[in-house]
Structure 1
Amino acid sequence: MSARPTRGAIGRGTDFDSHDFSRPSRHSRPRTKERPDYSDAPSGRVIGVDRGRYRVLLEGREYTHELTATKSRRIGRKGVIVGDVVRLTGDTSGRKDTLGRIVEVEPRRTVLNRTADDTDPTERPIVANADQLMMVASLADPPARPGMIDRVLVAGYVAAVAPIICLTKSDLTDPAPITELYEPLGVPIVICEPGSDLSELKSMLASKVTVLVGHSGVGKSTLINRLVPDAERRTGHVNDVTGKGRQTSTSVVALRLPALEGRIADPGWVIDTPGVRSFGLSNVSPEAILAGFTDLAEFVADCPRGCNHHAGAPECGLDAALAGGELSPERLVSFRRILDAVDRPAYENG
């Protein structure tokens, strides 16, 4: 008579590491906390995610190729996002119909997060290990929205990612009202239109990982297609009635930039993200919001102790700067709109 399989035995044909499922019997010694060492496993950069499958660029001394991978159960609920540097086992050849397995995620240098809106407590990581955050806004069709630009800048400062503002469609309207609003921040501003020279922008992106964020219809995909000619990102149009663009990019994807003439170093990466209608900051502190508005810092230095900087706050330096003509009403309104949204209890309690 054949022996029965022990309780908790794992069936054959599973695609998991055996040590991830070592379940001792009731009378065996307790399981140790020793974990497998994957330091010698090949590593790669996650450049795309699609329904539980991860596209990874594997780079080594003697090879560079893409492969498809799944997430190992040992990672648990920890998400794997575009930009992550990961360790892999399994079939890492990249051949058709093969799968590698992501078994480890390297510590992230930076993480860009957002929430669905200012009432959503769930923070969603968008991109890992980015160096720069480029807010793409069109000057017309649809017009630039300073409130959205401010939110993305705040998110960039919180994530310790250097911000850039890119204004498209400058052939349709004068960019001066927007540039004058943001020049005091010292944030690089790039202005472009169809067919314009992108050499300045390419130099800013060289050797960096830059994530692009913006509303649908602002020309983000068109810009990426010019920066990476073989990207073939779909472009859309703006609805004449609503003034809103149709989302054409449906997933986050990392694209390597072409090498610049005369440069040997890594040409850099751009990460395209789907167009967004809103950019929630529910988990961002009021102090972080103020840090994002660097042009306001000098005006709050003399605020009374405990000033929350909301409208109606007694002797707030922001109101004094506004009355003295040192601060534009648009900047103050934008700052307080974000502050009110994420700091509602303080606002309501005065």
Structure 2
Amino acid sequence: MARSARDYDESDVRIRPNRRGSRPRTKDRPKHEDALPGRVLTVDRGRYTTLVGDDRDGRVVIAMRARELGRKGIVVGDRVALVGDTSGAHGSLARIVRVEERETLLRRTADDTDPVERVLVANADQLVVVSALANPEPRPRLIDRCLVAAYDAGMDPLLVLTKADLTDPAPFLEQYAPLSVPHVVTAREDGRTVGLDAVHDVLAGRVSVLVGHSGVGKSTLVNALVPDAARATGVVNDVTGRGRHTSTSAVALALPHDDGWVIDTPGVRSFGLAHVDPDRIVTHFPDLEPGTDGCPRGCTHDEEECALDAWVEGGAAGPAGPSRLESLRRLLRTRLPASED
């Protein structure tokens, strides 16, 4: 016989245990003291290729980001801590539970008005700006922007000029003589790269990130330095003078026969610097920086009230002062908006 609602009492109700409240909640996260250290080599759609162990004899481990990291970004060059299946076996997947403190950050913005920074590479100590001397023509303003990014990141800049077999590099290098930026020149002869040994010498023992616009020979250079890299190479359009993007993602590669690393990046056509503070650029001109003490508050160092003019005219910056000041101001002007570099 069916029972009515009045026939039920509390003894007929089954109480299910509250499982969510059965354990005290805590904000303490596991320390993962047994996590293995690794280096991020590539990033691809939420999967991180890492190297665990020795730079030469380590094993490649594919990993995902642990939920506890939240929105914290992970980029090529990051040193991380991994747990889970770190065997590197086919189909295995580890978890990145910690991103170690970064020594340097190479950053850019989408344009000069975008306040959102985008971290490109972590822990590199040398920024190698690769530019062709011809085919395509060099873009000094883009090079200047890369130099500013290097100074801002605390990285040493290096110019690598390719295709010297097509034109004399001397006129171009005169523009950068006041900045004292080290440079290496390469050329192609009989199907081989001349000057490669000099490039290898300045990369040895360093973590170097290579940047440059498409078609300058960056991937060709990487393939010559790391024969197993197999980076795709392209050609320059005869009409537009632009190269085709052949490298689609950044990748860290160990240099053979020494402990250096190169990080190849996709070709760029612009380099936004909205995040850069002009005062940080001035610190890389130690002969000029003391002269800014007399500048008005908020001085851009490129205006009539700037005290650097009097500093240079008085000889405090030495005989190279005028050209150094012009180079500084040229770099500062790169932060002005431009349609394309």
Q: CA deviation at 1:135?
A: 0.7
The secondary structure found in structure 1 opposite 2:288 is: helix
**Residue in 1 that maps onto 2:219:** 221
- Please give the alpha-carbon distance, in whole angstroms, between the structure 2 residues aligned to 1:270 and 1:62: 14
The secondary structure found in structure 2 opposite 1:211 is: strand
Indicate the RMSD between aligned Cα atoms, in angstroms.
3.1
- Please give the alpha-carbon distance, in whole angstroms, between the structure 2 residues aligned to 1:126 and 1:61: 21
The secondary structure found in structure 1 opposite 2:322 is: coil
Task: Confirm whether residue 64 of structure 1 aligns to residue 58 of structure 2.
Answer: yes
**Residue in 2 that maps onto 1:19:** none
**Residue in 2 that maps onto 1:281:** 273
**Residue in 2 that maps onto 1:141:** 135
Correspondent of 1:38 among 32, 45, 52: 32
Cα pair distance change 1:309/1:64, threshold 3 Å: closer
Cα pair distance change 1:38/1:296, threshold 3 Å: same
Task: Confirm whether residue 173 of structure 1 aligns to residue 167 of structure 2.
Answer: yes
CA displacement, residues 27-85 of structure 1 (integer Å, 9 cap, x when unaligned): 764x3332212232111111011111110111159962101111110110001111111
**Residue in 1 that maps onto 2:331:** 335
CA displacement, residues 279-323 of structure 1 (integer Å, 9 cap, x when unaligned): 00101112123345x398279558653443335x2466459969x
CA displacement, residues 241-279 of structure 1 (integer Å, 9 cap, x when unaligned): 2211111000010011110xxxxxx42110000000100
Cα pair distance change 1:291/1:181, threshold 3 Å: farther
Correspondent of 1:231 among 229, 232, 235: 229
- Please give the alpha-carbon distance, in whole angstroms, between the structure 2 residues aligned to 1:62 and 1:47: 13
**Residue in 2 that maps onto 1:16:** none
Unaligned segments of structure 1, at least 5 residues: 8-23, 260-265, 343-350
Q: CA deviation at 1:340?
A: 3.7
The residue type equivalent to 1:220 in the other structure is K
- Please give the alpha-carbon distance, in whole angstroms, between the structure 2 residues aligned to 1:254 and 1:300: 40
**Residue in 1 that maps onto 2:123:** 129
Q: What are the residue-to-residue correspondences of 1:305-344 with 2, within 5 Å?
A: 305-306=296-297, 307-311=299-303, 313-314=304-305, 317-318=308-309, 326-327=322-323, 331=327, 334-341=330-337
Q: Is the 8 A contact 1:299 1:318 kept in 2?
A: no
Give me the TM-score of the superposition, normalised by structure 2. Answer: 0.83
**Residue in 1 that maps onto 2:146:** 152
* Alignment: residue pair count: 315
The residue type equivalent to 1:82 in the other structure is V
Cα pair distance change 1:200/1:5, threshold 3 Å: farther
Question: Identity percentage over the alignment?
Answer: 52
Give me the TM-score of the superposition, normalised by structure 1. Answer: 0.81
The residue type equivalent to 1:305 in the other structure is P
- If you compute each CA radius of gyration, which structure gives the higher value, 1 or 2? 2
The residue type equivalent to 2:69 in the other structure is I
- Please give the alpha-carbon distance, in whole angstroms, between the structure 1 residues aligned to 2:210 and 2:101: 22
Unaligned segments of structure 2, at least 5 residues: 1-12, 314-318
Q: CA deviation at 1:90?
A: 1.4
